[in-house]
Amino acid sequence: MTTTLKGKVAIVTGASRGIGKGIALSLGAAGATVYVTGRTDSGHPAKVPLAGTVEETAAEVTALGGTGIAVRCDHRHDSETEALFQRVKDEQKRLDVLVNSAWAGYEGLHDGSDFPLDQPFWARQVSKWDDNLFGVRSAYVASVHAIRMMVEQQNGLIVHVSHKINEYGNPAYHIAKTATDRLAAEMAPPLKAHGIAVVALYPGLVRTEGIMKHAEFMDLSNSESPQFTGRAVAALGMDSHVLAKTGQALWVSDLAAEYGFTDVDGKVYIPTWK
């Protein structure tokens, strides 16, 4: 296992804030060149009242020792996704890591149009279905473009940010995350022969900007930083035997124990619902 991602190229979708930003920062701290994508940049205000732009994340990536490159990309539009990957191919001639983190399932909570969190699903806006399932489709489309590059290299890592579903009652969210796990499992077998690993990744309760907006309603005593998930991705990216994990859904906390990393505060958080 190597100890750096220097010379490696990554794309992290949905990285203007949240878990995606944390992943981009951790990959940057490991020395990677990181293309930071999202809809919010200096010329396009956020769709939700939360801080963060792709330029700000990219600057932090660079400050941490990597190379951050901001690209505004709305992954709802296939043409923008295709242009992103063509740019990476033209500029870098390679792609080592793709992290699919773009997701809009909580936007109604952030802007107050679909609040509170504990509403029954039939009381929510019907658009919540599309907001959740968008993430699955965008992960598929981005992966297709990434795979076309990675097959030429005969190596690569694709990470789908997901969530362990142990309950019922929230169809849009639960089906989206279950589908994300299945996406990793379906992609893995034909890609293994090309040296490409695909995994789903389970964070715990993460202190994203959106979560902190509603912190008064939550117990954050066992919560983790976005960078904790990022350190898991970085560890996977440095593991020369990562193909042994392909097709699996992996807990960030389990990877912390396996690879020996901690959160930014030196702790390892184990979700209570594991």
pLDDT tens, position by position, 203-212: 999 998 777 7
Q: Mind listing the pLDDT tens digit for each residue in 18-29?
A: 999 999 999 999
Query: Can you give the pLDDT at residue 111?
Result: 65
Helix ranges (DSSP H) in the chain: 18-29, 54-63, 78-92, 107-110, 127-153, 171-192, 209-213, 226-238, 252-259
| Domain extent listing, the chain | 9-259
Number of helical H runs and strand E runs in the chain: 9, 7
CATH number at 9-259: 3.40.50.720
pLDDT-derived band at 46 (thresholds 50, 70, 90) equals: low
pLDDT tens column, 69-109: 999 999 999 999 999 999 999 999 999 999 999 987 676 66
Q: Which residues are catalytic?
A: 173
Q: Residues 258, 244: contact at Cβ < 8 Å? A: no
Residue 269, pLDDT above cutoff 70: yes
Q: What are the residues whose beta carbons fall under 8 Å from the beta carbon of 272, sequence distance 6 or more?
A: 222
What does the alpha-carbon distance between residue 20 and residue 25 come to, in Å, rounded to a whole number? 9
Assess whether pLDDT exceeds 80 at residue 50.
no
Residue 174 has pLDDT above 90, yes or no: yes
The answer for residues whose C-beta is within 8 angstroms of residue 83's C-beta and 6 or more apart is 73
pLDDT band at residue 154 under the 50/70/90 scheme = very high
Report pTM.
0.94
- Span 137-150, average pLDDT: 98
- Strands 156-161 and 196-202 come out as parallel
Residue 49, pLDDT above cutoff 80: no
Q: Give the number of C-alpha atoms closer than 13 A to the C-alpha of residue 8, restricted to the C-beta side.
A: 28
β-strands 97-100, 249-251: how paired? unpaired
pLDDT at 110 over 70: no
